[in-house]
Amino acid sequence: MPDNTKKPLLADIEHVRITKLYDIYGEMLSERQREAMELWVNEDHSLSEIGDLLGLTRAGAHDRITKACAIIEELEAKLGLLAKADRWTRELEMIISLSEKVSGGERIAQTARRLLDDM
């Protein structure tokens, strides 16, 4: 999961996924896990920095973040909220695209854009 090295593209994609999952399920984590995840996901601190800030070793910070990631991944596997949101986003984008091609579709596109913005 988390590391101190520059992440290659695939790891960047995984980090974006974890960030989205944290946005959805973060409140389900313990306060300590949320604190570590905030520093890693939203503030982009290294594991060593997180350890220093939280009074942990680098390994302790890694363990806390890894466990938090496992919890939010498990929640996603059970509830599928991110997958549903991604599907709804694709569907709304298709509605926008199709409605812009038909006469009078501006209102439909506007409504779909508002829904998309609310997600």
The residues spanned by each domain of the chain are 9-79, 83-118
Mind listing the pLDDT tens digit for each residue in 61-103?
Answer: 999 999 999 999 999 999 999 999 999 999 999 999 999 888 8
Which pLDDT tens digit goes with each residue over 6-20?
545 567 788 899 999
Res 2 pLDDT > 70? no
20-52 pLDDT, tens digit per residue, is 999 999 999 999 999 999 999 999 999 999 999
Class of domain 9-79: mainly alpha
Q: Decide: 46 and 100 in contact? Cβ < 8 Å.
A: no
CA separation for the pair 57, 70 (Å, rounded): 20
pTM over 0.85: no
What is the CA angle 56-34-2, rounded to 5? 60
